[in-house]
Structure 1
Amino acid sequence: MRIAEMWVLAYLVNSLWQVPLVFCAAWLAARSARHAGPQMEHRIWVAAIFLEAVLPMCAFRADNLWQPAWSLLLWLRGGNSTDGVVRVVLGPPHPAGAALAWLSPTVLLAIAAAYLAGVVYFAAQLGWNAWKTRVICKRATAFDQSEAWNTAMTGLDHSLRTKTESLRVVVSSQVAGPAMLGVWRPTLLMPSGFVQRLSQGELQALLGHELAHMQRRDFAKNLLYEVTSLLVAYHPLLWLTRARLAETREQICDAIAADVSGGRGNYARLLLRLVTTLSELPNRSQPAFINALGIFDSNNFERRVMQLREKQFPVTSARRAIVAVVCVLAAIATCASALAWRVDVNAPSQKAVKRVAVAEKYMTLTHQVNPVYPEEAKKDKLSGSVVLAVHVSKDGVVENLRVVKGPKVFQTSALDAVRQWRYRPYLLNGDPIEVDTQVTVVFESK
């Protein structure tokens, strides 16, 4: 199996369980941050979509931090006597890679090919939508700005502190609703005959929402999220993450537009009237799946209106800080869990498996000799850790030892002790096999 194929399979296997892990953590964090406003919720879901895409490709082992952290702790503590304590930390050199060992190389190759075909499909779909959006914009006609339009734009420029000189406004019969798009030059795409049916208040609400998208550069951000999540685009929980991200994004723009539209209650009524006006358009187009963001982009319009009508309670800075700390701790715990339980995919052999890497916790020691704290280390009150790579035979005998890292003063003692250890033979499919594992001997001065 080639390295690229192993990487693809490892990414797929880990994304299957790490995406749900991140989604559940983000959902709990978003629930705790609900009263802190949609901005914080939105940031949580943005972090979630990046973690869902990036964590499965991280091969770094979180438990590797334990050894330098423990050594640093020992160094900081120092020592007050000439005695020493030796502790043994057992762990794997890397996670067990036999997750797919029962599958043949042909089947694994087929799985990797099917997954990559799915990634290509989602990438092609994104590219198709981008091309279709570009075609619609090219075919659109320039919008004839009325006096009411210019009045609304002037007022919003002052209220939102936006610069709309570069904003291009076009009209098309191929879109079902107003939409904002464009990375470098913003473009507002409007359905034909829609603006002419709006009152001054409805126009103010519509433009306030769309200009909020432009102010926040939501189109470019959303495109980045789409590209970043292509590798996990197959996962249903990623779809839910995108939906929550879109909902909170629209809630933020609703809040901005409500401030320039007479308050939340009035803005909610204007939104409902906008929907009614849009539904009454003659020859209204079916919704087009294009790369654009609009006031009706979210699929939970009803929930947005209900939230606008809910009574708002002020949130203190202290509570916001507490919620932020809780969210950061949740993110750290989630990342640590995902990395600690990461599954690697090793290349399967056409022959019977003779040797694997196994976590020490899955092996049973039948005879253990404790290392002796060196006298010279006691005299100088030295502390440190020795990491050993251990090869165990089919009979459970330690056949080969190698120092991975650690102070020289402790290496001989650690090697002499671990060399005498005996394990119960490790069985795979009922047959004893050779095992590679890792042992850490911690020497602590007291």
Structure 2
Amino acid sequence: MTAATEAVGWTLVHFVWQGALIGAAAALLLVMLRRAPATQRYLVACLALLMCAAWPAAGLVLRLTAPAGPALAADSASGAASLSALAALAGFGAGWPGMLRAHLGGVVAFWLACIVLLCARSVLGLLWIGRAARRGDSDAVWQARLSAMAERFGIARPVRLRIVNTLASPMTAGWWRPVVLVPGTLITGMPPDLLEALLAHELAHVRRHDYLVNLLQNLIEILLFYHPVVWWLSRRVRSERELIADDLASSQSGEPRRLALALSELEKLQFSNHHLALGADGGDLMKRIKHLLQPQPAASNWKAVIGVLALAAACGANVANAHIDADAPPHAAPAPKLEDRAMVDFKSCSKPAWSKPDLEAGHTGTVVLGFLISAEGEVLQSTVKKSSGYPGLDKAAESGISKCRFKPAKVNGKPVESWMQMMYVWQLHN
């Protein structure tokens, strides 16, 4: 085993406890800053992630530049001691550290092989983004809107817009020549003012140069892939970064509620589609919606806030709540005016399951349901107001809504029965 291989091996070993210490310190600081602005938590998470890279890098430099012989032997003894302590805590046998020390070269070889695979995956992802940016469709009207918005954000560089049908949500790529990739379903299926709010969020990333930070994150994830603290910190950085971009976008437009509604619509589109393959996690949209709505005073336009919260709750439950109808079904007595409309408890719901025959046949469609909510918040009955054309999909939608619990509507402060209307969109994406 060469001295360089041994130095790299002991660096990887030492980072096991170093990363744990960094993670514990970061977790404590983040808990203390849980009510602080997202920018402060973002800074803590970024510094902790950088420390995860800097500490082992400094250790590796010291090991490579230290004189061979006694210094390296001392470092080996220190690494064995660290492993012995970890093995004792984990309940492993006493021979485990010695066995790992004997196979240190194999550990380094495995680490390098994993790095090669992860680098190949990242390169393929970058190539896919570059291909999408070159071959994606353009839209002169939306390109003009995006350019005008970029000017208001103070972005001097030209920002391109490309429409990509295989995307699930908008994304930004590039630093010197940034490009915003937008799913085709949003261009055709989302109101223009809500799509503008999503584009403002992407421009906030461009203005903050978040693409460069994300590349650095990917590099640290690749080099230290084996430590869960690195992945936790990286996810936390991305989560806080989304909140900061939301704040910047809403401050530019002056309408945080519009961005919250846009995120709710985006969540609805994602959950109403059945994906045959797993996609990348675009972030906690419910957390972002709550973050945008939280600063709103409770007495300010409360009806509008309740409407947005109802949409957010329905989306978190994987139920596409397009419209709420408080009217009784035909042939019923006129319902009294409701003070508070019924709202879904999203924790009680689950995404409707596709029936196997419909899934295999590729059936798609839209189901509009009307259902009666009791004073106790339970679904008493439901009816299909508009069929998808396939009984299996209609039945699955009714089965899904029957499992939800609701906060009942109120008249004169008392819970009452009320009718609601909800739309399920069944769509297959390859």
TM-score range, shorter chain: 0.5 to 0.7
Cα drift, residue 246 of structure 1: 0.5
Does residue 1:103 correspond to 2:99, yes or no?
Answer: yes
In 2: Cα distance, 1:34 partner to 1:163 partner: 35
Q: Matches of 1:109 and 1:61 in 2, distance apart?
A: 18
- Deviation track 1:219-260 (CA, whole Å, cap 9, x = no partner) reads 122112212342212212211111101000000001111213
Question: Aligned partners of 1:199, 1:234: CA distance in 2, in Å?
Answer: 43
Structural mapping, 1:37-76, within 5 Å? 37-59=37-59
CA pair 254-105 structure 1, distance change in 2 beyond 3 A: closer
In structure 1, how many angstroms separate the alpha carbons of the residues matched to 2:253 and 2:276?
Answer: 28
For residues 13 and 249 of structure 1, the distance between their equivalents in structure 2, rounded to whole angstroms, comes to 31
Write the distance in 1 (CA, Å) between the matches of 2:189 and 2:147.
17
Partner of 1:197 in structure 2?
189
**Superposed displacement of residue 105, structure 1:** 6.8
- 1:303 match: 287
**Quick check: 1:275 aligned with 2:260?**
no
Cα distance, 1:106 vs structure 2: 5.3
Work out the CA distance in 2 between the residues paired with 1:131 and 1:260.
Answer: 33
Distance change in 2, residues 1:216/1:34 (3 Å):
same
What CA deviation, in whole Å up to 9, does each residue of 1:251-296 have, x standing for no partner? 0001111213444334322321233356668x9896655xxxxxx8
- 1:256 corresponds in structure 2 to 248
8 Å contact kept, 1:61–1:94: no
> Structure 1: which amino acid aligns with 2:222?
L
Contact preservation (8 Å) 2:194, 2:261: no
Quickly say closer, same or farther: Cα 1:151–1:204, change in 2 above 3 A.
Answer: same
Higher relative contact order, chain-length normalized (CA < 8 Å, sep 6+): 1
For residues 61 and 242 of structure 1, the distance between their equivalents in structure 2, rounded to whole angstroms, comes to: 24
Segments of 5+ residues of structure 2 without an aligned counterpart are: 63-72, 81-96, 298-430
CA offsets, 1:124-157, max 9 Å, x none?
22122212222333331222325xx645652563
Match of residue 154 from structure 2 = 161
- 1:40–1:232 distance in 2 versus 1, CA, 3 Å: same
Q: Which whole-Å CA distance do the structure 2 matches of 1:44 and 1:211 have between them?
A: 24
- Shift in Å, 1:99: 3.5
Q: Provide Cα deviations, 1:195-222, integer angstroms capped at 9, x if missing partner.
A: 2333242023112101001101111221
Q: Which amino acid aligns with 2:40?
A: M
SS, match of residue 19 in structure 1: helix
Match of 1:185, SS state, is coil
* Structure 2 Cα separation of the partners of residues 138 and 204 of structure 1: 22
In the aligned structure 2, how far is the partner of 1:157 from the partner of 1:137? 21
Query: Residues of 2 paired with 1:258 and 1:251: CA distance?
Result: 11
In structure 2, give the amino acid aligned to 1:143: D
Is 1:39–1:252's contact at 8 Å kept on the other side of the alignment? yes
For residue 115 of structure 1, what is the aligned residue in structure 2? 111
Aligned length: 272
Separation (CA, whole Å) in 1 of partners of 2:5 and 2:61: 21
Check conservation: 1:48, 1:241, Cα contact below 8 A: yes
For the pair 1:181 / 2:144, whether they are aligned, the reply is: no
How far apart are residue 161 of structure 1 and its match?
1.9
Following the alignment from structure 2 to structure 1, what is the Cα–Cα distance between the partners of residues 287 and 180?
A: 25
2:271 and 2:60 map into 1 onto residues whose CA distance is 53
**Given the superposition, is the C-alpha separation of residues 18 and 202 from structure 1 closer, same or farther in structure 2, using an over 3 Å criterion?**
same
Counterpart in the other structure of 1:130:
126
Counterpart amino acid of 1:162? I
Contact 1:180 1:186 in 2 (8 A): yes
Q: Secondary structure of the residue that 1:141 maps to in structure 2?
A: coil
Question: Comparing both structures, which one devotes a greater share of its residues to helix?
Answer: 2
Change (3 A) 1:150 1:197: farther
User: Is residue 53–residue 229 contact of structure 1 (8 Å, CA) maintained in 2?
Assistant: no
Partner residue in 2 for 1:433: none
**Alpha-carbon displacement from aligned partner over 1:170-197 (angstroms, at most 9, x marks no partner):** 1122222211101320011111242233
Give TM-score, length-normalised by structure 1: 0.54
